[in-house]
């Protein structure tokens, strides 16, 4: 059963990897920065904690803007810093792809149901499939992607959502520099029991420049930072 569970988990992860490709094929993250709207929200709103224990209200509706790839949206007031970060990396010869950014509840529900269907087809009960699937795909209302503050950023040369992302020049650069632009690596290795999410080297979250600098300097997760 353990071998079967591992196989199915790998199948779910592979499906997630293919999603990255399907959502971003041949579209670099941001080519030329577009005119960016001025910020209208307080820094505190960048620190919203979203997880199983802290779901978003059903009427949560962030103000969004499109990225230049025409496929993804982010919260309008983080566009300027996101553009600056990806432009800086691009100028160093790196090639980024935004695999996923804002998702609404319906889309998030669809992703979860896809993963659960894989598990159910192998004999898992609905409850078992739900528990296993939510190790990698959050239930609707509990995903940071619904805030418009989170992005899955990958290398053009490897668009799979897999741990091997950490070996790409793009990911190495992001992990070393993202804090300068207000972003953190949201689900770091070794903090799984705190975040409740497996290590995701591709998942970056905007928290504002001051918070990102402190979180990175102290080696904290967002949960640990907010609990101080």
For the domain made up of 2-227, give the CATH fold.
Answer: Muramoyl-pentapeptide Carboxypeptidase; domain 2 (3.30.1380)
Answer whether 0.95 is exceeded by the pTM.
Answer: no
Mean pLDDT of 134-145: 91
Is 200 a residue of the active site? yes
* For residue 21, pLDDT beyond 70: no
Query: For the segment 112-131, what is each residue's pLDDT rounded down to a tens digit?
Result: 999 999 999 999 999 999 99
Give whole-number Cα distances, 124 to 4, 119, 132, in Å.
Answer: 11, 6, 9
Query: For the segment 33-88, what is each residue's pLDDT rounded down to a tens digit?
Result: 444 444 444 567 999 999 999 999 999 999 999 999 899 999 999 999 999 999 99
Residue from 43, 200, 223, 224 carrying the catalytic annotation: 200
Burial 21-48 (b: 16+ CB within 10 A, else e): bebbeebbbbeeeeebeebeeeeeebbb
Distance from chain centroid for Cα 175: 13
Percent of the chain with pLDDT over 90: 76
Where along the chain do its domains lie?
2-227
Mean pLDDT of 95-104: 97
Confidence at residue 37, expressed as pLDDT on a 0 to 100 scale: 43
Mean pLDDT score across all residues of the chain: 86
The C-alpha atoms of residue 109 and residue 111 are separated, in whole angstroms, by 5
């Amino acid at each position: 059963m353990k071998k079967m569970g591992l196989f199915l988990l790998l199948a779910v992860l592979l499906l997630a990897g293919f999603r990255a490709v399907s959502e971003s094929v041949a579209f670099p993250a941001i080519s030329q920065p577009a005119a960016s709207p001025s910020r209208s929200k307080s820094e505190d709103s960048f620190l919203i904690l979203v997880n199983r224990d802290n779901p978003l209200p059903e009427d949560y509706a962030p103000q969004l803007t499109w990225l230049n790839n025409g496929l993804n949206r982010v919260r309008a007031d983080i566009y300027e810093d996101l553009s600056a970060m990806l432009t800086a990396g691009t100028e160093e010869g790196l090639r980024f792809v935004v695999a996923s950014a804002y998702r609404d509840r319906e889309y998030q529900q669809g992703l979860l149901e896809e993963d659960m269907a894989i598990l159910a087809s192998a004999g898992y009960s609905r409850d078992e499939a739900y528990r296993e699937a939510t190790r990698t795909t959050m239930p609707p209302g509990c995903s940071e992607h619904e805030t418009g503050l989170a992005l899955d950023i990958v290398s053009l040369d490897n668009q799979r959502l897999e741990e091997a992302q950490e070996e790409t020049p793009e990911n190495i650069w992001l992990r070393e520099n993202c804090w300068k632009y207000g972003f953190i690596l949201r689900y770091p290795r070794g903090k799984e029991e705190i975040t409740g999410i497996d290590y995701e080297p591709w998942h970056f979250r905007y928290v504002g420049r001051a918070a990102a600098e402190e979180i990175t300097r102290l080696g904290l997760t967002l949960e640990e930072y907010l609990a101080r």
